[in-house]
Amino acid sequence: MTNAIEIHDLRKTYPRRWASPPFEALKGVSLSVAEGETFGFIGPNGAGKSTLIKILTGVMRPTAGNAALFGIDVTESAARTGLGYVPENPSLPDYLTPLEILGMGLALHKRQVADQRAHAMQWLERFGLGEAANKTVRGFSKGMAQRTALAHALAVQPRLLILDEPLSGLDPIGRREVVDILAEYRQQGGTIFLTSHVLHDVERLADRFGLIHKGELRAVRSPAELAGEDDRVLVRSQGAAAVIDGMRPEPGGRWVIEVSRTDLWPILQTLKAAGHDVIEVKPTLSLETAFMHVVKGE
């Protein structure tokens, strides 16, 4: 099976003026993303995430190396057939309405649907834009513009979604709704490549994630691999008082403690015997802590 994304030794160098040396934004990145996989690409600002996405979408050419979408080199326009893309800051024609923008997308992607208006309205309503379908984008908030761009990307029935900070500008409810829509797209066999600073949502969606820092891909992990890399487990409970040495108080009568995996079951039994309600049990090494380890060089 052909991979949805294939990247080999990808490099991008930006020239600098005067006496400054060139800036190498990507330093030999190699990566494969299987068809039907959701891949989270995370790293701090300036790590090279947006540069790589610009190369994948044909906006920019690499200095060296190559990349392909479904076996077609990204320098060829055919590679973008069936690609849905949402940049970090979508630049929508502000004189058009969401309904017109989605109609334009369907035409450009040559998608034949039985009723174009009904198809577009279905996606606008999914993103909470049904009542704004015929209003010009000019007066939209950042969150509404972001939802319009996401509706446009999904309305064209893509086989690959590339999303650069897709949750930017969304309130908590909007972010949850978008994550649910993307999870549904993933369950139906779609492929997603996304960057996000909202690491909790990346953990929920991604089959694997890559950590990039200073242009180098430092690690590629699945959530299960990440959880297995640490022997410590965090236990959070609700109770009247601490019953185990090392328990730390939290607001609302909650308590938290970190224990080794081998001690987990005896700890849970002790908490139950003391009348505590266990709220949460999870590995201490989360995507957020792994991210911080990479950034700090630990």
> What are the pLDDT digits (tens) for 170-195?
888 888 899 899 999 999 999 999 98
Q: Which pair of tokens denotes residue 282?
A: 């999870």
CA dist., res. 163 & res. 56, Å (int): 11
> Which pLDDT band holds residue 81 (cuts at 50, 70, 90)?
confident
> Which pLDDT band holds residue 133 (cuts at 50, 70, 90)?
very high
Q: Which pair of tokens denotes residue 243?
A: 């019953």
- At 6-31, the pLDDT tens digits run 999 999 998 877 767 888 999 999 99
Q: Which residue has the higher pLDDT, 225 or 153?
A: 153
Q: For the chain, what are the domain ranges?
A: 5-221, 227-296
Q: Which residue has the higher pLDDT, 107 or 286?
A: 107
Given this model, what pLDDT does residue 293 score? 65
Given this model, what pLDDT does residue 286 score? 61
Q: Is the pLDDT of residue 280 over 70?
A: yes
Given this model, what pLDDT does residue 1 score? 67
**Cα–chain center distance at 290:** 16
Q: Is the pLDDT of residue 131 over 80?
A: yes
Residue 113 dihedral angles phi and psi, to the nearest 5°: -125, 155
Cβ atoms < 10 Å from Cβ of 60: 17
Given this model, what pLDDT does residue 18 score? 72
pTM for this entry: 0.80
Longest dimension (CA), the chain: 71
**Ranges assigned E (strand) in the chain:** 5-14, 23-33, 38-42, 64-69, 72-73, 83-86, 160-164, 191-195, 208-213, 216-221, 232-238, 248-250, 254-260, 277-283
Please name the amino acid found at residue 152.
H
- Asked which of 22-31, 174-183, 233-242, 276-285 is least confident by mean pLDDT, the reply is 276-285
Tell me if 170 sits within 8 A of 255, measured CB to CB. no
Mean pLDDT of 275-282: 91
Given this model, what pLDDT does residue 234 score? 86
CA dist., res. 75 & res. 64, Å (int): 12
Superfamily for 5-221?
P-loop containing nucleotide triphosphate hydrolases (3.40.50.300)
Please name the amino acid found at residue 288.
E
- At 206-224, the pLDDT tens digits run 899 898 888 999 888 876 6
**Sheet with strand 5-14: strands edge to edge:** 23-33, 5-14, 64-69, 72-73
CB burial class (10 A; 0-12, 13-18, 19+) of residue 6? buried
Q: Is the pLDDT of residue 261 over 90?
A: no
